[in-house]
Structure 1
Amino acid sequence: MAEEKDAFYVVRKGDVVGIYKSFSDIQPLLASSDPYSSGGRAFNVSSSSRNLQGAIQFDTGLAGSFSYPPNSLRNHTLGGSQAEWSTCLSCTLHFDGASKGNPGPAGAGAILHDGSKVYRLREGVGIQTNNVAEYRSLILGLKHALKKGYKHIIVQGDSLLVCNQIQGLWKIKNQNMGTLCAEAKELKDKFLSFKISHIPREYNSEADAQANLAINLRACEVQEDCQLL
C-alpha cells in the first residue's frame, strides 16, 4: 500500500482506538494467524490524508458524532507510541436528569461502564429544571470518567436537547444552558475520542433510576457505587 505524505491510519479493536503514522507500524497486527480478529473482536483499519491539526470525524454505525479533538491528535498521534495507544481505556456513559416540578427538586444520574466494572453515579442539583439536570448528569459522568483515567468515551442519553447542542446542531438561546454546554464541551475535549448519541428513554432506565434517587440528595452531594462485572 502506497503511503501519502500526511497519511495516518486508524485501527479499532472493539472499543479501543489507535492511530498510527505509518502503515508498517500496524503490519504486525495484520500478520497474525487470524489477522482480522482477536478474541472474536474485529480489527477495523481506515486511513486518511487529512491534516492532523484538524478534528477527525467518521461514522461508527451509531447516530451522533465521533471526533478526535485537535489537541489530542497533535499530542498523542505524532508523539505517542503503539504501547500508549494499546493501553488507552474506553468506556460508555449513560446520563439522565430528573426534576419534580420542572423547576423543582432535581437530580443527576449517570452509569459508567467499561466491560469489567460499572459505576453508578448520582448528584443532587437543588431546585432546577429538567434540562439543567440533564446537563449536570452529563458533566458528572464526564468528570468521573476523566478521574478514572478513561481516554475514549461513548456517551448516550435521552435528552435530544443536550445531544444536539453538544454536537452544535441546535442553537443555544438560554445563557444558563450555554454555560453548562461550554463546561461539558471543555470536558469532552480532554478525551482522545468522544462520541455522543441520542437514545430512546426506554433504553436509559438505569441512568434514570440514579437521577430519581439523586433528587433526595443535598445540592452538590455526590454518591458513587462500583460493581465488578
Structure 2
Amino acid sequence: MTNDLLQNKKGVLSTIKNAITRDQHLFAILFDPENFTSESLTNKLRKLPHHTTHIFVGGSTATQAQTQKAVRIIKEHTQLPVILFPGDYRHITTEADAILFLSLLSGDNAEYLIHQQVKSVAILKNTDLEILPTGYLLIDGGVETAVQRVSKTQPLSQNNIDLIVNTALAGEYLGKQLIYLEAGSGAKFPVSPEIINAVKKAISIPLIVGGGIRTANQLNDAYTAGANLVVVGNAFEKGIY
C-alpha cells in the first residue's frame, strides 16, 4: 500500500483518485461483522493479501454493535483505511474512516434510494466520517443475494448492458462520486468484463466492482476491463485469497 493511503485516511476519495492517476489497482477486503468472532477476525487480519489497500465493513443484516466491534478490532490491527459498507443506517459507527453513502440506483425501492440516507443524516452530521456518495448497482450474479432479499429489488440482467451503462451514467449525472457494480455476496459469477468495460468507458468517476470474484484470473479480468477498486469478501473468508 502506498504511503499516501496510510497517511491520508481522512481523504479516502482523493487518495483513490490519486491512485487512479498512477494506474494503481486498488483492492479491498470486505468483512461482514456477522461472519466473524473477535478471534477469527484477528486471525484473518494477519493474513491480509499484501496488495490490500482498503478494508470494507458491512453486511445486509449486521447490527450496529457487531459493526462497531469489527471496526474496533480492525483498527487495532491495521492502518489501512476502513470504509463502512452499510446495509442499514443503524449500522453506522463513528470509528471508521469513511462511509459509502449508497443509493441503490438499480432498484425502485425508495427506502434504499433516499429514505435510508435521510435517516442517516442525524448520525452522520455529528461525525468525522468522510462521506462518499456512491451509485450502487446490483447486477445479476446467478443467485438471490442478501441485498436482493433485504432491498426487495431485482438485479439488472448482465444481458442488458445498455441499461447498466445508462444507470451508472445517471448516477454520475446525479452527482455520485463513485459507481459500485455489485454481483452480490455468494454470486455464482461476477460482473462480466464486458459490462465493466462499457461502464468504465461511459463514466468519468472511479469504478468499484465486487461480488463473485474468486480467482486471480477473475480479479485480473476486472482490472483489465477497467475496475479501479475490486472488492472481495467470501473468497477471502474461505481462504482463497
- Normalising by structure 1, report the TM-score: 0.31
- Normalising by structure 2, report the TM-score: 0.30
Larger gyration radius, structure 1 or structure 2: 1
Larger relative contact order (C-alpha < 8 A, sep ≥ 6)? 1
| Structure ranking higher in strand proportion | 1
| Structure ranking higher in helix proportion | 2
